[in-house]
Chain A
Amino acid sequence: MNLEKVFFAFFIVLALTLNFGFVMGDFDNPDHHNVYEFFAALVVSLIATVLKVGDRTHIGAVLLATSLVADLQLIAAAVVWAIAEHAVGIGATPSIMASIVSLSSGAVLANLMSVLLLAVETVMVRR
């Protein structure tokens, strides 16, 4: 058992599950989307990215790319949320919530890609 692989798989899958959990619920209902869950998804996604940086394999490079996409989407969502709450002061209205959730859903897709790649890599190794 390779501890590095456990670590990485853990963070990749956790990023997907947290993000998925955040997106679940009514699309534009702020009550269904918890800010802490969102924060956790962002942090875990960042850690997963750092873990993959510097991997020389081809699959490592693609995983880094998908993680970076997820980070970008989540950071964009976080910026939208912060602007709505603090800069403009309109708060999490249904339309704002909808754009936050849609950005996060994009990140879910990227996370899903990461998990799929991870699964493919695992199947290929067969040991």
Chain B
Amino acid sequence: MRPRLAAIHNVVHLLFRRLRMPLIVVICTYAVSIVGLTLIPGIDDQGNPWRMSMFHAFYFVSFMGSTIGFGEIPYPFTDAQRLWTTAAMYATVTAWLYAIGSLLALVQDPAFRRVVKAAAFARAVHRINQRYYIVCGYGDTGSLLVGVLAANGIRSVVVDIDQSRIDALEIAGLPLEIPGLCADAADPASLIESGLRGKHCAGVIALTNDDQVNLTVAVTSKLIAAHVTVICRAEFEDTEANMASFGTDHIINPFVTFADSLAMAVHSPSMYLLNDWMTSTRKLPMEELVSPPRGTWVVCGYGRFGKAVCNRLPSEGINTVVIEANTEGTHAPPSAVRGRGTEAVTLKEGRIEEAVAVIAGTDNGTNNLSIVITARDMNPELFAVARQTERREDPMFAAARLDMVMQPWVIVASRVWSLIRNPILAEFLRLARDQDNAWANVVISRITAVLEEEPPDTWMLSITPNDTPALYAALDAAMDRGEQISLSDLLRDPRNRDATLACVPLLLMRSHEQALMPEGSAAIHKGDRLLFAGAAHVADTMRWTTQNANTLEYVLTGSERPSGFVWRLFAREQGE
């Protein structure tokens, strides 16, 4: 049976199971009262002996039992009848109270409410008729991601083990209805209930703070629905390897990802800015360049975060001094300074005065802030990086004016979002990494030149009959004439073809070939995928060009194409 029907069936089953006894009691009390009334002799208004019929008895008991009480009808009762009625009155009213009491108790029963909620959840999941993602874990990362998805019109289904987080989802006021289930994501049943087998299920995103749970989700999803995309957060390297062996599509380790971007920021500030801007979950104007200095960096905390940073930074020509309270347990290098880093003594021992930057990377956000503030007191020129551990610490971290803040949820959510939103964006960023800082500078200046203060956006254009019908047909026609349509034709403004749309083509993908920053003269082929960056409204204009044959005709040739059949015939004759 499908989960939705099974869930509703559960509700009905439980309802009748519990109400079986009360219903039987009501039926029996009614039966005895009715039979008694018909058997006891009465007297009619003329003083003749009279007996109540079944019909009258049923009528009388019905209004008596429900305490409506119309009185003694059709004739006033004899004392014998009143005696029986007295007994029947107490019996039927008690039976009703028992039945209604059982019903109310059942409705308030936590088990019953759970079943009702599960049924409502199953119905909500079943009603989704567009692609959706199952998000496991609605903590800082999950809530940020679900909010971004909802803001962009992408549906999701949330599973979390903590009821208070599901409550938070319900009151979050998201623009779409997001069904939430309070269940253990590691239990395959809860994933199936969340629509893993549904035909619109596009992917499963495991973001819980437990690596084992994320691993179980990855395994379950790949086994049950092999076609869905599985994206997992992993904080330990061994789970990462295990997930990869199960064919998990994308594994995101927030610590390694941050260490990579930190290294990128040192290596090529423009590349870092480009990356940061393109993967951002918010549409913000481009920010200022961050350029971390080269020299000696003091790293406080040698946990997963500290290790990831210390592994990555030396390749960029940076020396690290580690400060760690538990040097043995974390296998810190022998040169490590023992201490928490919050005290001036330890920082002094780590020679903070000579360092150029400090990374406060312990697993306690308040301590990290304290480290940065103490360190800055001793060396005001420090480049400060701190690890934030909870989203509610936002105001504190904003007030501390840090150069870089490591927020695991932002890192994971923006990675996931860049993977979901635009599959070829990830490809572009991968290719961009092999380029140098000068290249990134050019890209950034070209993008900022077309933007004019508007928030930037990236979008993909696939040359397929579905996405770009007009362009697809035009390519067919052009091929017959032996002509080509070039990229610069697509960039013409459909309102005035001599003007150019305010966007920058970033990538042209053709089966296995990729061209970064393609030239305007590049020919467009069927099946190509293009990545553009520019103001968000330009994407709509471009969609107009590629989907409307008349607009495309104007953009390509400069002549308005007659749209009606008669006018087209007329135009052809004139042409001949």
Contacts and interface: CB of A to CB of B under 8 A. Distances in A.
B438 interface: no
B28 interface: yes
Contacts of A40: 31
Interface in A41-87: 43, 46-47, 50-51, 53-54, 56, 78, 81-82, 85-86
Nearest to B26: A50
Interface in B1-33: 9, 12-17, 20, 23-24, 27-28, 30-31
A47 B54 contact: no
B130 interface: no
Nearest to B32: A43
A53 B54 CA distance: 27
B28 A82 contact: no
Chain B interface size range: 20 to 34
Nearest to A79: B55
Nearest to B34: A39
B13 A54 contact: yes
A24 interface: no
Contacts of B9: 56
A92 B150 CA distance: 69
A78 B54 CA distance: 9
Contact of B20 (A39, A43, A51, A78): A51
Task: Tell me the interface secondary structure of chain A in the complex.
Answer: helix
Interface in B123-153: none
B54 A39 contact: yes
B54 A54 contact: no
Interface residues of A, number: 17
Contacts of B20: 50-51, 53-54
Contacts of A36: 35, 38
A82 B53 CA distance: 9
A50 B34 contact: no
Interface string B188-209: 0000000000000000000000
Contacts of B54: 35, 39, 78, 81-82
A65 to B, nearest CB: 15
A86 B60 CA distance: 14
A56 B8 CA distance: 13
Interface string B32-62: 0011001000000000000001111000000
Contact of A46 (B13, B27, B34): B27
B16 A86 contact: no
A86 B27 CA distance: 23
A113 to B, nearest CB: 21
Interface in A67-123: 78, 81-82, 85-86
Interface of A: 35-36, 39-40, 43, 46-47, 50-51, 53-54, 56, 78, 81-82, 85-86
22 contacts: A36-B35, A39-B31, A39-B34, A39-B35, A39-B54, A40-B31, A43-B27, A43-B30, A43-B31, A47-B28, A50-B24, A50-B27, A53-B20, A54-B13, A54-B14, A56-B9, A56-B13, A82-B55, A85-B53, A85-B55, A86-B53, A86-B55
